[in-house]
Amino acid sequence: MQMDISILFSSNIFYKLSVKQGINIKYFYNHKIDSSFSELVQFASLPYRKTYIHTLGYHKRTYRIGERVAERLWYEYPEYYNSIVDIVKKNN
């Protein structure tokens, strides 16, 4: 699996910014996340076993994950979901 270089780039930028502004970084997880990031995309575990999901790396390009993101958006923020659907309909 190829690593998405943007993860390193954005993480480094935000780290440098936090140092410059004197902001202390606190980690969400106290353990190492494996390079597949599969722990972060367990949508079926929301909201009871997992309270945080984040699509990283190749998961952003996976159709199934895109569907799960859309479902969560529709479920938790229907007004935003509908707004996005309207924009896509207008532009396609």
DSSP structure string for 19-30: HHHTPPP--S-S
The pLDDT value recorded for residue 37 is 79
Query: For the whole prediction, is pTM greater than 0.75?
Result: no
* Phi, psi (rounded to 5 degrees) for 82: -65, -35
Rounded to an integer, what distance in angstroms lies between the CA atom of residue 7 and that of residue 56? 8
First to last CA, the chain: 33
Q: pLDDT tens digits for 19-50?
A: 999 999 888 788 888 877 788 888 888 888 88
The pLDDT value recorded for residue 8 is 77
